[in-house]
Structure 1
C-alpha cells in the first residue's frame, strides 16, 4: 500500500493530535474531580483580592 503525501501528512497530524487530546482529557479528569467539593466557591474571591 502506497501513501500519497496528503495521507502521510494526515497520519502525521493524527499522530500528534490524538495523544495531545488524550493528555488533555486525562489532565482534565485528574484536575476536575477534586476541585468542586474541597474548595467551596467563597474563599476564591478573597484569594484573588489578596494577590492584587
Structure 2
C-alpha cells in the first residue's frame, strides 16, 4: 500500500511540475486520502492486534 501511495505521489508531482495543475491537484488529493486511510488502517491494526486462534 505504501508503494502505491508513493507511486501516485510521484505521478502527481510530475503532473504539477509539467503544468498539469488540475490533474496534479486531483492526484495529490487522492494521495492525501490514501495516506489517511493507510494511517487509520495501521492504527486499527495496532489496537486490535493479530487475530486469536
- TM-score, normalised relative to structure 2: 0.52
Quick one: which of 23, 29, 39 aligns to 2:46? 29
Compare CA radii of gyration and give the structure with the larger one.
Answer: 1
CA RMSD of aligned residues (A): 2.2
Moved >3 Å (runs of 4+):
none
Tell me which of the two structures has the higher relative contact order, counting C-alpha pairs closer than 8 angstroms and 6 or more residues apart.
2
Structure 1 residue runs of 5 or longer lacking an equivalent are 42-52
